[in-house]
Amino acid sequence: MTGSRTVYGSRGRPVLAGLRYRGRQGMWAWLLHRTTGLGILLFLLLHIFDIFLLGFGPDVFNQLLFIYSAWWARLLEVFLLFGVLFHALNGLRLIIQDFWPGLWRYERQMILAEAAVFVPVFLWGAYIFLLPLFD
């Protein structure tokens, strides 16, 4: 580092060193698994609530649906698709590794395979999700 000031974290290590932790693919997969899991759970709670409103009759329920027909809701749903698809595929990799431990050494390859499935399915799904916007 050429800078004269170094920012220290609570354990006396430079914060920037922490940010430079190189966990590679496994670290990013872990981080994404967590954040997508939290995001999906948040949506699930909202979704249970809106379905619960069915009990108040068609007027109340249909009025609430503006949330889902807005254009920005479509974008959020693409995020949801991203989250569900990634969480599902990455979770499947974790399960396969857990039950066939010999595959741990191929973690990098497995994550690449995961990406190879994820990208085309996500693009196709996002296309379907966004299609109504162009009607």
Partner 1 sequence: MSNQAIQAFGRRRGRPPSSNFELYSWFFMRISGVVLLGLAVFHLFWMHAVIGVEEIDFNVVAQRWTNPLWRLYDLFLLAFALTHGMNGLRIIVDDYVHKAGWATAVKAALFVIYAAFLGMGAYIIVTFTPVASTPAAAL
Residues near partner 1, by CB under 8 A: 34, 37-38, 40-41, 44-45, 48-49, 51-52, 54-55, 57-58, 61-62, 65, 68-69, 77, 80-81, 84-85, 88, 91-92, 94-95, 98-99, 101, 104, 125, 128-129, 132
CA distance 50 to 109: 41
Cα separation, 108 vs 85, whole angstroms: 19
Question: To which residue do tokens 């254009």 refer?
Answer: 71
- Nearer to partner 1 by Cβ, of 2 and 71: the residue is 71
Beta-carbon-side half-sphere exposure of residue 20 (alpha carbons within 13 Å): 6
CB of 1 to partner 1, least distance (A): 29
Nearer to partner 1, 1 or 21 (CB): 21
HSE at residue 99, side-chain half, CA atoms within 13 A, is 5
CA distance to 19, 29, 120, per residue, from 15 (Å): 6, 22, 37
Name the residue nearer to partner 1 (CB basis): 6 or 46: 46
Output 115 or 122, the one with its CB closest to partner 1: 122
